[in-house]
Amino acid sequence: MSTDPLVIFTPSGKRGRFPVGTPVLTAARQLGVDLDSVCGGRGICSKCQITPSYGDFPKHGVTVAQGALSDWNAVEQRYDDKRGLKAGRRLGCQATVQGDVVIDVPPESQVHRQVVRKAASARAIEMDPATRLFYIEVEEPDMHEPTGDLERVARALRDQWDMQDVTAAFPVVAQLQKILRKGDWKITVALHKDGAGAPHITAAWPGLHEGGLYGLAIDLGSTTIAAHLTNLETGEVKASSGIMNPQIRFGEDLMSRVSYSMMNPGGDVEMTRAVRESLDALAQEIAAEAGIDTSLILETVFVCNPVMHHLLLGIDPVELGQAPFALATSDALSLTAADLGLSALPASAQIYILPCIAGHVGADAAAVALSEEPGKSDDLALIVDVGTNAEILLGDRSRVLACSSPTGPAFEGAQISSGQRAAPGAIEAIRIDPVTKDPRFKVIGCDKWSDEDGFWDETAQTGITGICGSGIIEAVAEMRIAGLVDAKGLIGSAEQTGTERSIPEGRTHAYLIHDATADGGPRITVTQGDIRAIQLAKSALYAGARLLMDERGVDKVDRVVLAGAFGAHISPLHAMVLGMIPDVPLDKVTSAGNAAGTGARIALCNVTSRREIERVVREITKVETAIEPRFQEHFVNANAIPHATDPFPELAKLTSLPQVSFNTGGSGGDGDGRRRRRRG
Amino acid sequence: MSTDPLVIFTPSGKRGRFPVGTPVLTAARQLGVDLDSVCGGRGICSKCQITPSYGDFPKHGVTVAQGALSDWNAVEQRYDDKRGLKAGRRLGCQATVQGDVVIDVPPESQVHRQVVRKAASARAIEMDPATRLFYIEVEEPDMHEPTGDLERVARALRDQWDMQDVTAAFPVVAQLQKILRKGDWKITVALHKDGAGAPHITAAWPGLHEGGLYGLAIDLGSTTIAAHLTNLETGEVKASSGIMNPQIRFGEDLMSRVSYSMMNPGGDVEMTRAVRESLDALAQEIAAEAGIDTSLILETVFVCNPVMHHLLLGIDPVELGQAPFALATSDALSLTAADLGLSALPASAQIYILPCIAGHVGADAAAVALSEEPGKSDDLALIVDVGTNAEILLGDRSRVLACSSPTGPAFEGAQISSGQRAAPGAIEAIRIDPVTKDPRFKVIGCDKWSDEDGFWDETAQTGITGICGSGIIEAVAEMRIAGLVDAKGLIGSAEQTGTERSIPEGRTHAYLIHDATADGGPRITVTQGDIRAIQLAKSALYAGARLLMDERGVDKVDRVVLAGAFGAHISPLHAMVLGMIPDVPLDKVTSAGNAAGTGARIALCNVTSRREIERVVREITKVETAIEPRFQEHFVNANAIPHATDPFPELAKLTSLPQVSFNTGGSGGDGDGRRRRRRG
């Protein structure tokens, strides 16, 4: 045995001695080297491609001679003729060991290949999807030993792939006989295996299926539904698409949808039907965009807030609208497309819904936790997913806390007088000269600032149409920096601020950013009402964060992560001037992009991560903002810009905010107005 | 401890010492005494009723004093006021042990109570259904420790009933919040537990559910669909109902339905829809008859032949029409009503379908094996389920064999010139005087023979309309006994037989049983064609039995069991004269009634029996009649009445058949005709 050739695999470094004639795939399996194969070594799937290296390898202590692997054989030649093998590549199931050899497994031949996420975060997703393809050769039926075709398929999976106690989805059973005969008893099955459950056949194709296998990661938001179509073999995102949530017509925000269900018998059923129909449309659209058939989409992962979660599942969300905000079910759910009545997907397509953290903190927050991993952070991280509802996580290795806070839609440009959704023509960034008090700005669809040459030509098409979420945050913060707004949020008059852009509006004032009325366009201003709306939103966000910090017993955090599609566009400086987030060094504020969507994609591509987030969610400390008396106190104190009581020393290093006050005795009325609205 | 009171339970004889104050239910549980409880000892379900016995019990070595149990308490008083407790009864959860006591558990308080089957067989069904009711008290939601309502229900089942890892059917999850709140956090759940799978909630009700829990045992035959609605708590059959299988319009027998599917694209889908619709109608009808709501039917067991099995499941049966007769799936199946598209039942209602034995030997044969247990027989039993297709089992403790044989519908009165289904007016029994050659007969709906006083008055209403299956068997056998038919099956002429009842019909003869043409009624005869049809059917049946005997290496069996609704009406003597069954002593021929239906009811009422029949089916030796060359040989030899070559010594002890021969050279043509038909 000791004279058997030595086989060394890279990059794993795994090594062992094998008799002359051992196929490379066999050696890899015995050593536990991650080398893919769908056909089980029959030389037809080409997933097991490897690259032998020749010459001296002092590091490994071997010299690899030219004849270290068997000669190129007929199967490899046929494959090369038909599809083309890259230079130097061999099929691991065909090439056999003839002498000491160093074999490299290229990334695309690894089952558990890593896929680098597009987002800034360095963490890669290791491919280990719940559903995988297996090619099998099935025994033909025999009258003397009668067994069902399904039972022989299960036996083939046991004998050829060591898969025990395989079951099959009911629609597959009905089609199996035709598929087996069409494939001449050679078929490929999609096998779903998630946790302790038995492997489950969810699709089958005649012969070797080369059409691929896909999954959808869906971030089902109150406003938009975003989906990523992912190749489950490679991890590649084939297409991304988003549509508006059609439930908007029943209510803009979550609570108005819950109210709709309370006030209208059958309203929940209507909303469930609406969202399911649009999910079907989205699945069809995204599959068409990627040029694949929806029958190949066999896994779907959903992340969503609790109200969307219940409405997706067909559960009346009425309990989520009143204390104690009881979820019908909080654990992760494994379902089928048929269960959800999604007709665009195969009935047997598997659905995984991440667990909810609490009645107000949903599977979307769990997905952020999966993506950003606060529980693995060495320093104390505050993660804020900014949307109509803000989900807030605070944690490090010792403990993770979570809450949600009702920020309302102001951060998304809604309920803002000149507000609009992020679309071409919307002001997304703004700077106000502290001396002249004049603004310059950028609009979506143009890379130039408004004071740069060519800006007006380039924006002539779209016009300047309004202010989006990130624009309004910058506008309010810049107004505060420029001394146009005081710490209490009052806009000064033209006399107080020294600019004619401060224009009267009833008993209050507004700041004029751009007047296009001469050209038939809008007049874009920031009104006192807009400032109040932003103050309400940012106070809610900050109060939620402070509540978690209280619970944790700290008065500062080490870093802040802004998540959410919108979070990616928020300027950290302006967010801090506004007092949206606690004071931290500016370089400690990072954006995680659409972390919930990333979390969905991780759960889609890696089945182990599902157990991980289920465990993490159980261990998270849940804080309910709605019943904490301190929340109201934090909320009131956070109303000031940046804050009435908390110091912002890091912010002070960067900019000193003017000590102005425009209170002329009328602010008490504003305060009352705010409180009335909060109660409403 | 040794001075603790002694508690002795009857009829189990289990005994133990318990501290004063121990509730009787607690003592029973600790000793493993089978004492029912749905509410878990809360004094509301009354399932745990017991009867204490007082006085001297030398057999048990105790004397029970009057104060051996605690006094009648308020809970018992309330229950007695409301519902009434039988004299001497106590509630086991309320009465506590105060001294040595003997406690009888009446049959209705046992969970695993035995239900004596209606059929002749002595075996009782032990109640142990897959679905049972559990009353629980659920923790209310708490904002500080948020969990879903479902998760708290699962926790209650774990803590209060030791049920681990409970899951819930999707439709139940959607309704759970309303049910919990309506029941003020006290609910009853129906929990399905079958084998190693996790317990699964399939229904829930507010408070203590007292509406019962029901199951359907369905024998899905080619011609009729019979259902028994069974109370799953008591085992009582609440209603039985049958309807015609609507697939008859696509073809009378199995092969014509398979052909319909082959010739008509979508024909299988049409037949599946037809049978599912009629199952829905049947479920509604039987529930209405029993006065219960279909929502209470949470378990259904199906037994059926392989073609019905596939069509029920929505699988094209085309493969069952051609060698090698491959089943799509042969193992037992656990499904839901939603899987089968049965809308009359709750979507989460559980369906169990018994395993198929082979491509021609279905779940109905498995059900017969479950009911008749040939594998537990000390002597060698031949079990014949007579229908359009005969299922045949042969076995004893050492080994069981099975086959099916295509008898055709002649035994059911079809394809017989004066044949009709068993209904009032049909001749069901007949005797022919060996001297006068005149018949006397009985018709369904009248207890008298036709030569008894009052017969004609009593049958005036229905008339004499035809011959049913058992009637034609007796008629042919009696014709053979009376010397009207020879061993080859030829009917003699009037000259040869000496009776004018032998009337010419073309080149052959017919025997006139009754001529009502003068009154506008039919002329009832047995024609040469009828004899041929019966010969074909009985030869197929006998040949199948002989094939199993060959396989087993025997030339006689110890006993014969006739199963099937029709089997109950066959006269053993006449069956043996005809040579339908092998020669055995007449008292060794018994009827098992509808054994397939009984098997379905056993699987419905006792979950352990499902594992039992799954094991038995795996061990059965399957014999395929269609490919055995000896089958054809046995078939030809069995054409004679009773048989060309096999001796019938037991029959000879009872009657000596006339040695007549009516062959006038024309029988060869008949033989050819028969062979042509067999091939066709």
Q: How confident is the model at residue A123 (pLDDT cuts 50, 70, 90)?
A: low
Model pLDDT, residue B677: 34
- Note the pLDDT tens digit of each residue in B590-644: 988 889 999 999 999 999 999 999 999 999 999 988 888 899 999 999 999 999 9
The residue with greater pLDDT, B20 or B195, is B20
Least reliable range by pLDDT among A358-372, B215-229, B562-576, B649-663: B562-576
Q: Which of A155, A150, A154 is nearest to A170 (CA)?
A: A150
* Residues B241 and B289: beta-carbon distance below 8 Å: yes
User: Which single residue is written with the structure tokens 């030219």?
Assistant: A66
Q: Hey, are the CB atoms on A143 and B624 less than 8 Å from each other?
A: yes
* Alpha-carbon span A41 to A8, nearest angstrom: 20
Residue A618, pLDDT above cutoff 90: yes
- CB nearest to B328's CB, from A145, A148, A330: A148
**A215: phi then psi, degrees, rounded to nearest 5:** -140, 155
Model pLDDT, residue B675: 36
Residue B427 contacts A where some CB pair is shorter than 8 Å: no
* Residues A407 and A472: beta-carbon distance below 8 Å: no
| Domain A222-353 classification at class level | alpha beta
Q: Hey, are the CB atoms on B325 and A143 less than 8 Å from each other?
A: yes
Model pLDDT, residue B343: 95
Model pLDDT, residue A2: 55
* Residues A466 and A524: beta-carbon distance below 8 Å: yes
* Alpha-carbon span B584 to B384, nearest angstrom: 14
**Smallest Cα distance from B553 to chain A, Å:** 18
| Interface test with chain B among A262, A327, A356, A361, by most B beta carbons within 10 Å | A327
Mean pLDDT (whole number) for A168-194: 96
DSSP class of A500: T
Mean pLDDT (whole number) for B153-179: 95
* Alpha-carbon span A403 to A547, nearest angstrom: 9
* Alpha-carbon span B280 to B265, nearest angstrom: 25
Model pLDDT, residue A87: 85
Exposure b/e, A220-252, CB count within 10 A at least 16 = b: bbbbbbbbbbbbbbbbebbbbbbeebbbeebbb
Q: Three-state DSSP class for A140?
A: coil
- Note the pLDDT tens digit of each residue in B508-544: 999 999 998 888 888 999 999 999 999 999 999 999 9
* Residues B48 and B70: beta-carbon distance below 8 Å: no
* Alpha-carbon span B490 to B658, nearest angstrom: 13
DSSP class of B624: -
Least reliable range by pLDDT among A120-134, A252-266, A463-477, B194-208: A120-134
* Alpha-carbon span B267 to B647, nearest angstrom: 47
- CB nearest to A146's CB, from B144, B151, B358: B358
**Smallest Cα distance from A675 to chain B, Å:** 24
Q: Quick one: closest CA in A to B347, which residue?
A: A339
Exposure b/e, B206-242, CB count within 10 A at least 16 = b: bebbeebbbbbbbbbbbbebbbbbbbbbbbebbbbbb
**How many percent of chain B have pLDDT more than 70?**
95
Model pLDDT, residue B85: 85
Residue B403 contacts A where some CB pair is shorter than 8 Å: no
- Kindly calculate the radius of gyration of chain B based on its CA atoms and give it in whole angstroms: 30
Q: Hey, are the CB atoms on B330 and A358 less than 8 Å from each other?
A: no
Q: Chain B partners of A326 at a C-beta cutoff of 8 Å?
A: 141, 146, 148-149, 177
* Alpha-carbon span B374 to B362, nearest angstrom: 16
> CATH code for A367-406+533-644?
3.30.420
Residue B149 contacts A where some CB pair is shorter than 8 Å: yes
Q: Quick one: closest CA in A to B176, which residue?
A: A328
- CB nearest to A174's CB, from B314, B324, B357: B314
Please report which residue ranges of B298-454 form alpha helices under DSSP H.
Answer: 306-313, 363-372
| Same-fold call for B6-109 versus B114-206 | yes
Q: Chain B partners of A328 at a C-beta cutoff of 8 Å?
A: 148-150, 173-174, 176-177
* A residues 299..318 contacting B (CB < 8 A): 313-316, 318
Model pLDDT, residue A456: 93
Model pLDDT, residue A437: 96
End-to-end CA distance of chain A: 82
Residue B165 contacts A where some CB pair is shorter than 8 Å: no
CA distances from A205 to A175, A215, B345 (A): 10, 17, 33
Q: Which CATH number fits the domain B214-353, given the four candidates 3.20.20.100, 3.90.1150.10, 3.30.420.480, 3.40.50.1950? A: 3.30.420.480
Q: B263-272 contacts: CB < 8 A, separation 24 or more?
A: B268/B310, B268/B311, B268/B314, B268/B315, B268/B316, B268/B317, B268/B318, B269/B314, B271/B247, B271/B311, B272/B311, B272/B312, B272/B313, B272/B314
Residue B196 contacts A where some CB pair is shorter than 8 Å: no
Q: Hey, are the CB atoms on A328 and B141 less than 8 Å from each other?
A: no
Cα-based torsion angle of the residue sequence B76, B78, B80, B84 in order, rounded to the nearest 10 degrees: -140
Residue A671, pLDDT above cutoff 70: no
- Note the pLDDT tens digit of each residue in B546-555: 999 999 999 9
Please report which residue ranges of B464-563 form alpha helices under DSSP H.
Answer: 469-481, 494-497, 528-552
**Smallest Cα distance from B133 to chain A, Å:** 21
Q: Chain A partners of B357 at a C-beta cutoff of 8 Å?
A: 146
For residue A346, cis peptide bond before it (omega within 30 degrees of 0) = no
Residue A269 contacts B where some CB pair is shorter than 8 Å: no
Mean pLDDT (whole number) for B382-389: 86
The predicted model scores a pTM of 0.84
Q: Which of A257, A127, A135, A115 is nearest to A188 (CA)?
A: A135
Model pLDDT, residue A673: 36
> CATH code for B6-109?
3.10.20.30
Q: Quick one: closest CA in B to A627, which residue?
A: B143
- Note the pLDDT tens digit of each residue in A512-563: 999 988 888 889 999 999 999 999 999 999 999 999 999 999 999 999 999 9
State both tokens at A512. Answer: 């004029």
State both tokens at A350. Answer: 């598997």
Q: Which of A651, A532, A535 is nearest to A582 (CA)?
A: A651
Q: Chain A partners of B148 at a C-beta cutoff of 8 Å?
A: 326-331, 356
In chain B, where the domains are located: 6-109, 114-206, 214-353, 372-409+533-675
State both tokens at B220. Answer: 């899905």
Positive or negative CA dihedral for B70, B73, B76, B77? positive
Q: Hey, are the CB atoms on A319 and B146 less than 8 Å from each other?
A: no
Residue A356 contacts B where some CB pair is shorter than 8 Å: yes
**B299: phi then psi, degrees, rounded to nearest 5:** -135, 140
Query: Whole-number mean pLDDT of chain B?
Result: 90
Mean pLDDT (whole number) for B310-335: 94
The burial class, CB within 10 Å (0-12 / 13-18 / 19+), for A562 is: buried
Residue A144 contacts B where some CB pair is shorter than 8 Å: yes
Q: How confident is the model at residue B122 (pLDDT cuts 50, 70, 90)?
A: very low
- CB nearest to A329's CB, from B151, B313, B318: B151
* Degrees to nearest 5, angle at CA A511 with A509 and A515: 125
Give the number of other Cβ atoms within 10 Å of residue B122's Cβ.
Answer: 7
Mean pLDDT (whole number) for B389-399: 93
**Smallest Cα distance from A324 to chain B, Å:** 5
Q: Chain B partners of A356 at a C-beta cutoff of 8 Å?
A: 148
Q: Which CATH number fits the domain B114-206, given the four candidates 3.30.460.10, 3.10.20.880, 3.90.870.10, 2.160.10.10? A: 3.10.20.880
Q: Chain A partners of B313 at a C-beta cutoff of 8 Å?
A: 170, 173-174
State both tokens at B606. Answer: 């006792």
Q: How confident is the model at residue B114 (pLDDT cuts 50, 70, 90)?
A: low
Model pLDDT, residue A665: 59
**How many percent of chain B have pLDDT more than 90?**
69
Mean pLDDT (whole number) for A572-591: 94
Model pLDDT, residue A44: 82
* Residues A367 and A217: beta-carbon distance below 8 Å: no
Can you say whether residue A490 is alpha, beta or left, with left for phi > 0 and alpha for psi between -120 and 50 degrees?
A: beta
* Degrees to nearest 5, angle at CA A372 with A370 and A377: 110
| Interface test with chain A among B150, B151, B170, B614, by most A beta carbons within 10 Å | B170
* Residues B301 and B353: beta-carbon distance below 8 Å: yes
* Alpha-carbon span B556 to B629, nearest angstrom: 21
Residue B669, pLDDT above cutoff 80: no
Model pLDDT, residue B549: 97
Q: Quick one: closest CA in A to B324, which residue?
A: A143
| Interface test with chain A among B150, B153, B164, B177, by most A beta carbons within 10 Å | B177
Residue A201, pLDDT above cutoff 60: yes
**Smallest Cα distance from B339 to chain A, Å:** 7
CA distances from B494 to A618, A628, B437, B482, B668 (A): 93, 107, 11, 13, 21
Taking one residue from A and the other from B, the number of pairs with CB-CB distance under 8 angstroms is 140
Mean pLDDT (whole number) for B439-456: 94
Give the residues across from B79 on adjacent strands. Answer: none
Residue B112, pLDDT above cutoff 90: no
Q: Chain A partners of B326 at a C-beta cutoff of 8 Å?
A: 141, 146, 148-149, 177
* Alpha-carbon span A577 to A590, nearest angstrom: 16
How is A362-421 classified by DSSP, letter by letter? -HHHHHHHHHH-GGG-SS-EEEEE-SSSEEEEEEETTEEEEEEE---GGGGTTTSTTB--
* Residues B354 and B367: beta-carbon distance below 8 Å: yes
Residue A358 contacts B where some CB pair is shorter than 8 Å: yes
Give the number of other Cβ atoms within 10 Å of residue B612's Cβ.
Answer: 17
- Note the pLDDT tens digit of each residue in B12-59: 888 999 999 999 999 998 888 888 888 888 888 888 999 998 888 888
Q: How confident is the model at residue A163 (pLDDT cuts 50, 70, 90)?
A: very high
**Smallest Cα distance from A560 to chain B, Å:** 25
Model pLDDT, residue B371: 94
Q: How confident is the model at residue A412 (pLDDT cuts 50, 70, 90)?
A: confident
The amino acid at B399: R
Q: Hey, are the CB atoms on B316 and A170 less than 8 Å from each other?
A: no
Q: Hey, are the CB atoms on B319 and A177 less than 8 Å from each other?
A: yes
* Alpha-carbon span B635 to B407, nearest angstrom: 11
